[in-house]
Amino acid sequence: MLQALLISNGLQGLEKYYVSNELVHYTTCFVTGDFNPDLTPYDLLVVPNGSDHVAMLKIKDQVSAFLDAGKALVCCDGFFTAWVPGNQWLMDNSRRTLDVRYTPGPDAHGLLENLPLDELNFSHGMSGWWSCGYIQAAPGAEVLLADTWQRPIVVLDEVSTPGRMLLTASGPLADVTYAGKSETASVTLYRNFLRLLSSETVPAHG
């Protein structure tokens, strides 16, 4: 089972979206004034939607060392500070949400398998609801989803560090399935990444 550290800046209800299951056990780490978590016991660092990117910038070097050790990062948020190796999120409001459509790119590991892409393209008939801005992706990183203007929206980076990074342009991901309901697209994409990690990661906790 993967051991994941979920970074929390105290947002109301965050814990409801990341629930431990057969693939992963979550430990929540709250941001404090002297934020300096020990990442070494974990396989995966999760920086969810609405996170504190001032705090993440403070631990930029620890995150780099974590990835250099072959570990994994999910950041599904607008990382406006420069703490993600090789990649940078930029806010942009120059394009109409009405025109936003996502198209799949190369997907060597099958992270888009069973992904209902229309769920990300439309909600109640409206487009442009899932992501904001775009990612300046590292050269050689896999752009799993691009927007109408071919800007990276979901990136799998296996080239900038020895580890793996799954990044979204603030599009939320989650690890929860409510009883009697099917997985949403944001859960499917996330769990496909977890399965990739599970198949190739030597768990930190046996």
- 193 vs 111: CA distance, rounded Å: 6
Q: What is the dihedral of CA 55, 58, 60, 61, to 10 degrees?
A: -150
Tokens of 204: 């930190």
Q: Which residues bind another protein (CB under 8 A)?
A: 9-13, 30-33, 35, 50-57, 77-82, 88-94, 97, 123-126, 128-129, 132, 136, 170
Residue type, 179: A
Check if the beta carbon of residue 89 is closer than 8 Å to that of residue 135. Answer: yes
- 62 vs 114: CA distance, rounded Å: 34
- 122 vs 144: CA distance, rounded Å: 18
Nearer to another protein by C-beta: 81 or 177?
A: 81
Q: At closest approach, how far in Å is the CB of 43 from another protein?
A: 24
Nearer to another protein by C-beta: 21 or 129?
A: 129
Residue 110: in which H helix or E strand, if any?
A: none
Residue type, 193: F
3-class DSSP state of 41: coil
Nearer to another protein by C-beta: 81 or 201?
A: 81
Nearer to another protein by C-beta: 90 or 117?
A: 90
Q: At closest approach, how far in Å is the CB of 94 from another protein?
A: 8
Q: At closest approach, how far in Å is the CB of 107 from another protein?
A: 27
Q: At closest approach, how far in Å is the CB of 31 from another protein?
A: 7
- 175 vs 24: CA distance, rounded Å: 9
Nearer to another protein by C-beta: 29 or 112?
A: 29
Q: At closest approach, how far in Å is the CB of 119 from another protein?
A: 14
